[in-house]
Amino acid sequence: MINIAADLQIPEIKARLDDLLDAEYSLKFFDSSTVSAFDLQNIDALLVRSTLSVNRELCKGTGISFIASATAGVNHLDIDFLESERIAWSYAPGCNAYSVIHYVLAVIGELIKDKLFQEKQSIGILGYGNIGKRLYKILRALNFDVYVCDPFISKPELVDLDSLLECDLVTVHVPLTFHDFYPTINLLNESHIKKLTNKIIINTSRGEVVSEALLMNVKDLIYISDVWINEPSPSRELIQKSYIATPHIAGYSIEGKLNGTEIIAESCAKQFQCLKTKRNESEKLPDWPHEINKIIQDVHDMSFPMALFNSELDLKSISASLKALSIKEIERGFRSLRENHPPRHDFNSFSFKNIVHLDKKLDTEFFYGLGRAGYF
């Protein structure tokens, strides 16, 4: 019998465990805001999200031998402690990559609509991992001038940080690190003020990657952020200064969450050597549920398919709700907005097979280009 404890906010975790575990198990749910070591006595496997700090205080004396986080990051896991105690651990890298890309593309659409950015301007991607690689392909398919910086990767198309900061828009996709060869804490800082004047930054990585001193002192910077220092009590002043401010929901699509669930359930089954043989089942994508002609109209009007991204993700509305919170409301409100984020699908989870037949004047190569980028 495998005794498993799982965050009650991990969607469909029981169904995925049933699908993948070829062994008897018990499942106990917990609330990450109140759980303690006392609640985890005699637990073998702990399945968590980023809202729970997994450390000595939580795990010591519980008997836990395996930790899995349904997230793409691991800053909430005390890896040194886990490894010192020989507690195996796993996470879900790339699970919400498309969700974050969707967020970035929705932001770009809002910037174009508000005449703050144009297709002919350049985009720099900071980080060439699970998100950066995919984002690079799709931005190229959308005909943007795109550059990438990642010191850990040697490729001819990559540039250094100073060159990247010459771009009109920089979107940040790096993990938060402190002690590596290239630590990312305060990676963008006051030394970059001149480079970032009159520029745009999109931050969906971690708040600490971009220095608040930079953000409060640089002139005419358009800042869009989904992540903040000191969450869930971020600086209200910085929230108000941001063009778009959201409560850490960029990766919160239905597909992003379910991908994380699938990955950690499989990791758990492998850890306890009870993985069922998986069936290869191909799912037919549902048709686009919104007004498909709106996508075509946006391509004609803006040279950018804004409706493809903002039909499922209304960033301006989410931002307005966060900005409306008072100082006294900020912590509770931030948590509430995140926990109650409306269900949304990634744009690549739908079929667009008929779109090329709706307008003969539309350059169908545009949509074929998106297909080659791995989306449709």
Query: Please, which residues have CB within 8 angstroms of residue 291's CB and are 6 or more apart in sequence?
Result: 307, 311
pLDDT of the residue at 376: 59
* Residues 269 and 115 sit within 8 Å (Cβ to Cβ): no
Q: Measure the CA–CA gap between 86 and 97, rounded to whole angstroms.
A: 30
3-state secondary structure 306-353: HHHHHCCCCHHHHHHHHHCCCCCCHHHHHHHHHHCCCCCCCHHHCECC
Q: What does the alpha-carbon distance between residue 376 and residue 372 come to, in Å, rounded to a whole number? A: 8
Catalytic residue among 56, 76, 190, 231: 231
Whole-structure pTM over 0.85, yes or no? yes
Q: Are 3 and 44 within 8 A, CB to CB? A: yes
Q: What is the pLDDT of residue 202?
A: 98
Q: Are 248 and 332 within 8 A, CB to CB? A: no
* One-letter identity of residue 371: G
38 burial (CB, 10 Å; 0-12 / 13-18 / 19+) is: exposed
pLDDT in tens, the chain (376 residues): 999 999 999 999 999 999 999 999 999 999 998 999 999 999 999 999 988 999 999 998 999 999 999 998 898 999 999 999 999 999 999 999 999 999 999 999 999 999 999 989 999 999 999 999 999 999 998 989 999 999 988 888 799 999 999 999 999 999 999 877 889 999 999 999 999 999 999 999 999 999 999 999 999 999 999 999 999 999 999 999 999 999 999 999 999 999 999 999 999 999 999 999 866 566 788 889 999 889 989 988 998 999 999 999 999 999 999 999 999 999 999 999 999 999 999 998 888 777 767 766 665 566 666 766 666 5
User: Active site includes 231?
Assistant: yes
Residue 254: what pLDDT? 96
Tell me the C-alpha distance between 309 and 98, whole Å: 11
**pLDDT at position 284:** 81
Q: What is the pLDDT of residue 372?
A: 67
Structure token digits, residue 152? 């850990």
Give me the domains of the chain, ranges plus CATH numbers. 2-95+253-271 (3.40.50.720), 97-245 (3.40.50.720)
* Phi, then psi, of 244 in degrees rounded to 5: -135, 130
By C-alpha distance, which of 144, 193, 129, 73 is closest to 369? 144
The Cα 346–Cα 374 span in angstroms is 13
Predicted confidence at residue 287, as pLDDT, reads 87
Long-range contacts of 118-122 (CB under 8 A, 24+ apart): 119/143, 119/144, 119/303, 119/304, 120/145, 121/145, 121/168, 121/169, 122/146, 122/147, 122/166, 122/167, 122/168, 122/169
| Crossing angle (nearest 10°) for helices 97-113 and 254-271 | 160
- Looking at the DSSP bridge assignments, the partners of residue 353 are none
pLDDT for res 154: 86
pLDDT on residue 279 = 60
- The answer to whether 353 and 368 have CB atoms below 8 angstroms apart is no
Alpha helices by DSSP H, the chain: 13-20, 56-59, 79-84, 97-113, 130-141, 161-164, 193-196, 212-217, 236-241, 254-271, 292-302, 306-310, 315-323, 330-339, 364-372
The Cα 248–Cα 228 span in angstroms is 8
Q: Active site residue: 102, 134, 173, 248, which one?
A: 248
pLDDT for res 367: 65
Q: Which of 173, 206, 344, 345 is catalytic?
A: 206
